[in-house]
Structure 1
Amino acid sequence: MFETPITVVGTIVTNPERRWVGDQELFKFRVASNSRRRTAEGTWEPGNSLYATVNCWGRLVTGVGAGLGKGDAVIVVGNVYTSEYEDRDGNRRSSLEIRATSVGPDLARTIARIEKRRHPEPAADAAPAEGEVSAEGHDRADDDPDDAIDADPSELDDEAIPLSA
């Protein structure tokens, strides 16, 4: 309740840290978002900067941990909050943190190859669960519907509409 959503476009500026907190895995890194502004002479000068710690939990840990690192251009979506703590000298400090719900490469500043996470196929002798299709070569109901894009056109149903239509 009363969470503050945020989207940050920036660069990962620290080596990501992967660790366990209790029984949950955490993937954590810092992101910097730097602005620039055009001067009256038409040149660019640095503007303000935003630095935030990004915390990735759950299924996000696997994808972010396998694909992103220091120096990568990213887009982070999540909820922002302030973490307060005392430093070594006893001074009260705070830092901006984002609990990420989505993290991905910024395709305006990098090139990425997408590898979809595939679900393991059920055993051949197992009966299909409700909502699954047991026809050979067809995706299960919980698979991504966009997988049809990767399919061989000869395997598609006769009712399929070509992309040029």
Structure 2
Amino acid sequence: MFETPITVVGTIVTNPERRWVGDQELFKFRVASNSRRRTADGTWEPGNSLYATVNCWGRLVTGVGAGLGKGDSVIVVGYVYTSEYDDREGNRRSSLEIRATAVGPDLARCIVRIEQRRHPEFSSAGGEVTRSEDTDVAGGHRADADGDRVIAPDEPGLVTA
């Protein structure tokens, strides 16, 4: 079977749905990706829109379900499929579906706080790197005692992932 990889940058446009399919949990939502282009006079005009259903399985269910919802800006990586079906009037239709392998917030359009601590970091000499509360992290943010980056919770666009 041929699988076509795809990356979509867009916005979640439906309330995500979490359900069981057999013995596996599924987290499902629709994403819209809109394009625009600059006209000859320098203004922007809307282009085409892509709508796709995103299906998250396995370990993605927990992370995506805990941190993302309708209106959030996301980047979805996965494999694209089309599904054909008959609508209520009996017309043959098709829809675009993505079986996600990775989903995350679009950091160009929001601010994120990472809740789960990463594995210990190691320096090039092989020793463990430790951080104190006063350690400065990229972007002028501070790290807490566990070494996690801390972003002020009152900043606009905060998404907890």
Same fold (TM over 0.5): yes
SS of alignment partner, residue 88 of structure 1: coil
Which residue in 1 is equivalent to 2:73?
73
Aligned residues: 127
| Residue in 2 that maps onto 1:82 | 82
- C-alpha distance in 2 between matches for 1:83 and 1:146: 43
How is 1:1-165 mapped onto 2 (pairs within 5 angstroms)?
1-116=1-116, 144-146=119-121, 151-152=130-131
Bigger CA radius of gyration: 1
* 1:161 equivalent in structure 2: none
1:91: Cα distance to partner? 1.6
1:115 shift after superposition: 1.4
Task: Give the letter for the 2:63 counterpart.
Answer: G
C-alpha change, 1:69 and 1:146, in structure 2 (3 Å) is farther
Residue aligning to 1:130: none
Give the gaps of 5 or more residues in structure 1.
Answer: 119-142, 154-165
Deviations 1:19-42 (A, max 9, x none): 111111000000000001001111
Q: Which runs of 5+ in 2 are unaligned?
A: 123-127, 133-161
What residue in structure 2 maps to residue 134 of structure 1? none
- What letter corresponds to residue 104 of structure 2 in structure 1? G
**CA separation of 1:30/1:146 partners in 2, compared to 1, >3 Å: closer, same or farther?**
farther
Q: Which whole-Å CA distance do the structure 2 matches of 1:106 and 1:24 have between them?
A: 27
Higher-strand-fraction structure? 2
* Secondary structure in structure 2 of the residue aligned to 1:46: strand
Aligned to 1:128: none
What is the match of residue 140 of structure 1? none
